[in-house]
Amino acid sequence: MLLLGGIVAVVLLILVFFALPGSKTRRAFSEAGELLIHDAGYSDALFTLEDIASLPLPVQRYFIYCNFIGKPKMTHMKGTFKGVDFSLGRGKPTIKIDYVQRNGITKPQRLAYIDSSLYGIPFEGFDSFLKGKGFMKGVGAKLFTLFDERGEDMDRACLVTFLAEALFMPSAALEPYVKWEAIDDTHAKGSIEAYGLSCSGIFTFSEEGAMRSFTTEDRMATGMDGSRQKVRWTAILADYRRQGELFLPSTLQAVWNYPEGDFLYFDGRDVAIEYFNR
């Protein structure tokens, strides 16, 4: 009876620990976010037509379509996704996650935090790209590292993800580290060079100016088991809605374009975007 009581007590303690809101991973994300915000600095400038005059036509249309002209230039942003359908890999479960990301533009920097559970056990993810170094870390039960991917492939993946989101935080699209090449009325090539790395991709737009997708060959598909495969990657934006004075996408999806078929692994809807200039 005493043994049973001890087991019950241990189980209850574990459940209470799981239910506590704080964690080492969440604190690390918050601390990194403070560093990103500090590095981002501040700006009192507004977007102007002169700023975009040299950009490819579909990129110019995007600024106008989303109503950025005359609005403050942001130095960093926060995106909040609730209840995202997130796949752990081909043939693996799809789970619901809450996802928060921060991007800074003075130098390309990006952070993301995943809060979820696997079979009732807390699961957290932390993506970081600061000072040119990237990593993707998964933590189970708030204590156990499930994976921790680092290296040049990860650095480049983080940088090209930042490029994919450059128009999501369009101050970045005007920075010297981003270059643009015209293709046609609905496509433009974007390239980014920073921290000794470079990558590029194709942006696709509607005729009105809405960005529809970004596709690149410069990302490596990394599995939770550490496996890596170079695969075309596409980010999809849809369902533009008014957020304050701006017209922004509310659906963001990420797809691996495997030769045998597309694999949608991130399906975020009702995305809330916040911009900051100080």
170-195: per-residue pLDDT in tens?
Answer: 999 999 999 999 999 999 999 999 99
Residue 119: per-residue pLDDT: 86
The answer, yes or no, to whether residue 161 has pLDDT greater than 80, is yes
Is position 2 within any domain?
no
Domains contained in the chain, number: 1
Residue 220: per-residue pLDDT: 87
The answer, yes or no, to whether residue 151 has pLDDT greater than 60, is yes
Rounded Cα distance between 78 and 62, Å, is: 20
Is this structure's pTM higher than 0.85? yes
The answer, yes or no, to whether residue 6 has pLDDT greater than 50, is no
Residue 228: per-residue pLDDT: 81
**At a CB cut-off of 8 Å and minimum separation 6, what does 215 contact?**
201, 202, 204, 232, 233, 234, 235, 257
The answer, yes or no, to whether residue 19 has pLDDT greater than 70, is no
Residue 13: per-residue pLDDT: 33
Extract the tokens encoding 273.
Answer: 């975007």
The answer, yes or no, to whether residue 4 has pLDDT greater than 80, is no
Residue 22: per-residue pLDDT: 61
Please calculate the CA angle 144-150-156 and round it to the nearest 5 degrees. 140
The answer, yes or no, to whether residue 81 has pLDDT greater than 70, is yes
Residues of the chain with pLDDT > 90, as a percent, come to 85
Answer yes or no: are the C-beta atoms of 182 and 60 closer than 8 Å: no
Range of the domain at 237: 21-276
**Average pLDDT of span 238-258:** 97
Is position 47 within any domain?
yes
Is position 139 within any domain?
yes
**Average pLDDT of span 158-172:** 97
Is position 13 within any domain?
no
Q: Which amino acid is at 275?
A: Y
Is position 198 within any domain?
yes
Q: Which amino acid is at 66?
A: C
Q: Which amino acid is at 269?
A: R
**At a CB cut-off of 8 Å and minimum separation 6, what does 51 contact?**
174
> Mean pLDDT for the chain?
92
Rounded Cα distance between 263 and 258, Å, is: 7
Is position 99 within any domain?
yes
Residue 21: per-residue pLDDT: 54
Query: Quick one: pLDDT band at residue 12, thresholds 50, 70, 90?
Result: very low
**At a CB cut-off of 8 Å and minimum separation 6, what does 226 contact?**
147, 149
Is position 9 within any domain?
no
Residue 222: per-residue pLDDT: 76
Is position 231 within any domain?
yes
**Average pLDDT of span 229-237:** 96
